[in-house]
Amino acid sequence: MDFNHEIHRRRTFAIVSHPDAGKTTLTEKLLLYGGAVQLAGSVTARKKERKTVSDWLEIERKRGISVSSTVLNFDYNGYRINLLDTPGHNDFSEDTYRVLTAVDSVVMVIDGGKGIEQQTRKLFEVCRRRNIPVVTFVNKLDRPALDTLAILDEIEQVLKISAYPMNWPLGSGVDFKGVWERKTGLVHLFERTIGGAFRAPVATHGITDQVVRNLLDQNTYERICEEVAMVEEVGVKFNLDDILGGKTTPVFFGSAANNFGIQLLLDGFIELSPPPAPRISANFEIAPENQKFSGFVFKIQANLDPLHRDRMAFVRIVSGKFTRDMPVVHVQSGKKLRLSNSNAIFGRERVSIDEAFPGDVIGMVGADYLSIGDTLSEDADIVYDEIPSFPPECFAFLHNPLPSNYKRFQKGLDQLVQEGLVHCFEVTNNARRTPLLAAVGPLQFDLVQFRLKNEYGTDARIEMTNWKLVRWLEKGCELDAKCHFPNGVESARDKNGETVLLFPGEWHLNYFLDNNKEVRLSECPAYDKY
């Protein structure tokens, strides 16, 4: 098996979008067309329908939203696909940002009727900062949609990136007839599929064929021909280097719910996305072709298997070949260990694997020594600082109403904190030592409650607080009796024993800084900076 060939046939990407743009539906349809499933699931599945592979948590199925990222591995047309479905809701954006450190490209889903939405802009900015190539899928063309030229213009104006339409929609809503493919010049006719569980039949014709002429009224046909001609003449020219460099996004149109445009997107993405890219370790670049194995942990998930209630660390392989039981260094601790219990992942399903290559995402089961951001390598000098840290904005005490459940309560909380679902602090002036949770959004607290109940069998009560900001003391700084604390400001300790300050708002933070010039604060702990 040729090592370089294995690298170059890998495609590792994430699907991102604003909530309700159709991201999870598109994920299911890519699995269907990629041959990974025989029947596509539904986000809002009824009893007789198959549920989605990517939304496997019970709370995801009850609420119809993604709250945790999912890894899906499968083979398609000689390529090894590592697909990562991400949460769309802003409250779970930290998980999405961590996933974006582990991919080489992104499929961005846009609701054709709404255009660029807030979360789309945020996620695209993360991609831009990391120079991640982006392929765009404009979804829901079977519903009334914005004008095609207006969508392309919005992409360019709002996201500040050139847009190259790979195909062109023929109408939208009830008038949606299909798409014209620029590469072949063929029109792919739209046909609604009941439930969208199976692959849709596709008929293709030339734009001038009578079949196409009969589907469109004369005005619509002439307008589309004029738009196509204009785009060909004055639009962005196709340049693969600009696409791979993140300067241009190729744009596909379709309807994920009706399985239309999925094949065009999948085949186009394979051609337009890059193989595994080099990563920076300290001040030097590690190429995938480097023979020394290295990778980093970007996600921890407890209870992936409800039968075993174990813990899995998700590792993105950066360089070298992985083999089961290989000796490596846990760089953060300097300890030497062997990587056993390695798995390929498909939603919540997993299968043992003996080898993997750069670009692959593998799951290490029972690796309690691993944390998010850790590096595993055959070379102790390789260390990756890939994982960003974001200051939480919501704070709540987590009460245990039944002291007899303390062990289960504490075990569950510890594991959820290790996953990075929430931060946990201990407030200095809290005699009962009630854990203080901190999160990007309040839905994370609901998820903690739900998972403690369903996975650990213990109740919990949330008590929201007035704190809005947290800051860490920088290295070398200490609080002393001379420090002046405005009302409402409290000190606490994080999971590593580092001192933090909790503020009700920006005014309190600025007041503290103005009156304590010797104290230096940071938005993230020193051990998280990169």
Average pLDDT over residues 266-273: 96
**pLDDT greater than 80 at residue 513:** yes
**pLDDT greater than 90 at residue 88:** no
Q: Give the pLDDT confidence of 183-210 residue by residue, as tens digits.
A: 998 888 888 776 666 676 677 787 778 8
Q: Give the pLDDT confidence of 437-472 residue by residue, as tens digits.
A: 999 888 889 989 999 998 899 999 999 999 999 999
User: So what CATH class is 3-67+88-272?
Assistant: alpha beta
Q: Which of 19-33, 203-217, 249-263, 393-407 has the lowest mean pLDDT?
A: 203-217
Query: How far, in Å, CA of 325 to CA of 327, rounded?
Result: 6
In this predicted structure, what is the pLDDT of residue 45?
43
**pLDDT greater than 50 at residue 49:** no
In this predicted structure, what is the pLDDT of residue 216?
80
Average pLDDT over residues 483-491: 89
Q: Give the pLDDT confidence of 310-367 residue by residue, as tens digits.
A: 788 999 999 999 999 999 999 999 999 999 889 998 887 889 999 999 999 999 987 7
**pLDDT greater than 60 at residue 68:** yes
Q: pLDDT band for 56, please (50, 70, 90 cuts).
A: very low
In this predicted structure, what is the pLDDT of residue 232?
84
In this predicted structure, what is the pLDDT of residue 476?
79
**pLDDT greater than 50 at residue 47:** no
Q: Where are the domains of the chain?
A: 3-67+88-272, 279-377, 394-528
In this predicted structure, what is the pLDDT of residue 432?
74
Write the burial class of residue 441 (CB in 10 Å: 0-12 exposed, 13-18 middle, 19+ buried).
middle
Query: How far, in Å, CA of 7 to CA of 27, rounded?
Result: 23
Q: Give the pLDDT confidence of 213-233 residue by residue, as tens digits.
A: 888 888 888 888 888 888 888
Residue bearing the bigger pLDDT, 486 or 12: 12
Query: How far, in Å, CA of 518 to CA of 479, rounded?
Result: 10
Average pLDDT over residues 472-483: 83
In this predicted structure, what is the pLDDT of residue 200?
64
In this predicted structure, what is the pLDDT of residue 44?
42
User: So what CATH class is 279-377?
Assistant: alpha beta
Which amino acid is present at 236? V
State the average pLDDT for the chain. 87
Query: How far, in Å, CA of 502 to CA of 465, rounded?
Result: 11
In this predicted structure, what is the pLDDT of residue 479?
84
End-to-end Cα distance, the chain: 36
Residue bearing the bigger pLDDT, 136 or 189: 136
Residue bearing the bigger pLDDT, 362 or 47: 362
Average pLDDT over residues 18-44: 79
Cβ contact 70:102 at 8 Å: no
Q: pLDDT band for 512, please (50, 70, 90 cuts).
A: very high
**pLDDT greater than 50 at residue 46:** no
In this predicted structure, what is the pLDDT of residue 91?
67
C-alpha radius of gyration, the chain, whole number: 25
**pLDDT greater than 70 at residue 286:** yes
**pLDDT greater than 90 at residue 60:** no
Average pLDDT over residues 369-393: 88
Residue bearing the bigger pLDDT, 96 or 13: 13
Residue bearing the bigger pLDDT, 55 or 224: 224
Residue bearing the bigger pLDDT, 64 or 315: 315
In this predicted structure, what is the pLDDT of residue 43?
45
- Locus of tokens 């260390």: 383
Q: pLDDT band for 306, please (50, 70, 90 cuts).
A: low
In this predicted structure, what is the pLDDT of residue 96?
86
Q: pLDDT band for 495, please (50, 70, 90 cuts).
A: confident
Q: Which of 41-55, 346-360, 384-398, 494-508 has the lowest mean pLDDT?
A: 41-55
**pLDDT greater than 70 at residue 54:** no
Average pLDDT over residues 106-130: 93
Tokens of 8: 């170059």
Q: Which of 102-116, 163-177, 486-500, 516-530 has the lowest mean pLDDT?
A: 516-530
Burial 391-406 (b: 16+ CB within 10 A, else e): ebebbbbbebeeeebe
Q: Which of 30-39, 142-151, 413-422 has the lowest mean pLDDT?
A: 30-39
**pLDDT greater than 70 at residue 57:** no
Residue bearing the bigger pLDDT, 225 or 252: 252
Q: Which of 105-114, 185-194, 316-325, 511-520 has the lowest mean pLDDT?
A: 185-194
* Angle, alpha carbons 162-135-35 (nearest 5°): 160
In this predicted structure, what is the pLDDT of residue 525?
77
**pLDDT greater than 70 at residue 291:** yes
Which letter does DSSP use for residue 125 in this model?
A: H
Tokens of 152: 């392309």
Write the burial class of residue 19 (CB in 10 Å: 0-12 exposed, 13-18 middle, 19+ buried).
middle
Which CATH number describes the domain made up of 394-528? Answer: 3.30.70.3280
Q: pLDDT band for 53, please (50, 70, 90 cuts).
A: low
Helices 148-159, 118-129: axis angle to 10 degrees equals 50
Cβ contact 377:368 at 8 Å: no
Of 467, 459, 389, 386, the closest CA to residue 425 belongs to 467
The answer to whether domain 279-377 and domain 394-528 are alike in fold is no
